[in-house]
Amino acid sequence: MAVQALDAARLPIDWQRLALPVALIAVAYGLIPAYASSYLVEAILLPFLALSLAAVGLNLLTGYCGQLSLGSSAFMAVGAFAAYNFNLRVEGLPLAATMILAGISAAGIGVVFGLPSLRLRGFYLAVSTLAAQFFVQWALTKFGWFSNDNPSGVISAPHLAVAGFSLDRATGRYLLSVTTVIVLTALVWRLVNSATGRNFIAVRDNETAARVIGVPVLKTKLLAFAISSFIIGVAGVLWAFTYLRTVEPAGFNLDRSFQILFIIIIGGLASIRGAFLGAAFIVIFPLILSRLGAFLFGGLFDSGVLDMSQRIVLGALIIIFLIAEPNGLSALFDRLKRRIGSRSS
């Protein structure tokens, strides 16, 4: 993967490579807002977009920089609650500013909890990121101020508007979400193909060697934590504001962190495309499985058996991916493309 990323940076603009993203953007802004059903937008696209963005953020940290984190959903929570409070407490703050400030808050917390990475490696670091997970949830529940003293401790999305246009309807929220994801993904793409991105990879591949060749290891690690947390924090805003609309701190629990981790494993570590493929898989696959199961075995088993089997199948797929395709869906996708390409040429 590392070599690939370097190659991409050296090449001039490759129009063939840009064809797919351009087509995707056309679909995202043209077809979907015009034709997608409310089910597709609310139940599939909105969670997919928020999770994809979170996965892009985590991938930067874990996939590119090699720092395993189990605290992603804590940073999502920080982003969501920060956005809520900035919006509530600063009169007339534009939505974009709210989201950026939320991201910065998450980045700040991310750096604090990233500090142990300066001394710790591997699992020791992974387990210590759990401290973030539990501490953030505790603090958000403990101090009523974070939820504007709501007795049930929940926050609700404010009225969303950009330049006077209301984005409260499903399509509006979708457009907000998709735009945010595209902008941040483009920035991340530039980043990983820059010198900083190469430093990330150097730190991941061999920290000592990186230090020897003059990569500022400590700075690089903290930067990875900051940028990653920023992105995950914004993903948290999308999750709370565009998707669920009313959330409680418990919604950002350890299971969510694992979910995001699964996305980047299944999608492919150190691959931006992988984050999207993985998120699509995690969101859509259980639905397909349960529909398919109900269709094939509906008469034989009740929904309980099918839903429990889903968990087993998901677990098995993770293992199968790790064994058979360690580079995830992204690599699978590449192979598929090559095969089709070689046939057509």
Partner 1 sequence: MTFFSHLKKAAIATAFVLGATAVHADEQYFPLQSYRVGPYAAGGTGFFGGFIDYLNLINIRDGGVNGVKLTWSEGETQYEVEKGVEVYERLKSNPGIAAWNPLSVGIAYAMIDRITDDKVPLITINHGRTDTTDGRVFPYVFPLLLNPYSETSGIVNYIASKEGGLDKLKGKKIVVLYHGSPYGKETIPIYELLSQKYGFELSQIEVPHPGNEQQAQWLTIRREHPDYVVLRGWGVMNPVALKTAQKTGFPADHIVGNVWSNSEEDVIPAGDAAKGYTAITTQASGEQYPVVQEIVKTVYGAGKGNLEEKSRIGSVYHNLGIVNGILNVEAVRIAQTKFGNRTLTGDEVRWGFEHLKLDPARVEALGAKDLFHSINVSWDNHEGDGYVTFQQWDGKKWNVVSDWIAPDWKLLRPIIEKSSEAYAKEKGIKIRTAEDAEAVVSN
Partner 2 sequence: MSYYDFLFVIEVLVGGLLSGVMYSLVAIGFVLIYKTSGVLNFAQGSMVLFAALTFVSLVERGIPFALSLLITLAVMVALGFTIERTVLRPLVNRSPMTLFMATLGLSYIIEGAAQLVWGTQVHGLDLGIDDTPFEVGGILISSFDLLAAGIAAAMVAGLSAFFYWTRIGLAFRAVADDQFAALAVGLRLPRIWGTVWTAAGFVALVAGLLWGARLGVQFSLSLIVLKALPVLVLGGFDSILGAIVGGLIIGASEKLAEVYLGPFVGGGIEGWFAYALALVVLLVRPSGLFGQKTVERV
Residues that bind partner 2 (CB under 8 A): 68, 116, 119-124, 126-128, 130-131, 134-135, 137-138, 142, 206-209, 212, 254, 258, 261-262, 265, 304-305, 308-312, 314-319, 322-323, 326
Minimum CB separation of residue 218 from partner 2 in Å reads: 14
β partners of residue 155: 247
Q: Is 153 in the site for partner 1 (CB under 8 A)?
A: yes
Residue 250 interacts with which of partner 2, partner 1, none, CB < 5 to 8 Å by class: partner 1
Minimum CB separation of residue 142 from partner 2 in Å reads: 5
**Taking the chain, what is the end-to-end CA distance rounded to the nearest angstrom?**
25
Minimum CB separation of residue 169 from partner 1 in Å reads: 9
Q: Is 166 in the site for partner 1 (CB under 8 A)?
A: no
Residue 159 interacts with which of partner 2, partner 1, none, CB < 5 to 8 Å by class: partner 1
Minimum CB separation of residue 310 from partner 1 in Å reads: 9
Minimum CB separation of residue 34 from partner 2 in Å reads: 38
Q: Which residues in 21-36 are b (16+ Cβ under 10 Å) and which e? A: eeeeeeebeeebeeeb
Spatial distance between the Cα atoms of 281 and 187, rounded to a whole number of angstroms: 24
Residue pair 125/68 in contact (Cβ under 8 Å)? The answer is yes
> Which positions from 87 through 146 interact with partner 1, judged by CB under 8 A?
88, 137-138, 141-142, 144
Nearer to partner 2, 292 or 308 (CB): 308
Minimum CB separation of residue 95 from partner 2 in Å reads: 32
- Interacting span for partner 1 (CB under 8 A) from 71-79, 194-202, 209-217, 239-247: 239-247
Here the tokens at position 253 are 């629990």
Spatial distance between the Cα atoms of 81 and 248, rounded to a whole number of angstroms: 10
Residue 150 interacts with which of partner 2, partner 1, none, CB < 5 to 8 Å by class: partner 1
Strand pairing class (161-162; 165-166): antiparallel
The residue within the footprint of partner 1, chosen from 16, 152, 342, 345 (CB under 8 A), is 152
Residue 145 interacts with which of partner 1, partner 2, none, CB < 5 to 8 Å by class: none
Strand pairing class (161-162; 246-247): unpaired
Here the tokens at position 239 are 């999750």
The residue within the footprint of partner 1, chosen from 12, 92, 151, 214 (CB under 8 A), is 151
CA-to-CA dists, residue 316 to 71, 297, 309, 322, angstroms: 24, 20, 10, 10
Longest Cα separation, the chain: 65
Find the length of the chain: 345
Minimum CB separation of residue 242 from partner 1 in Å reads: 11
- Three-state DSSP class for residue 60: helix
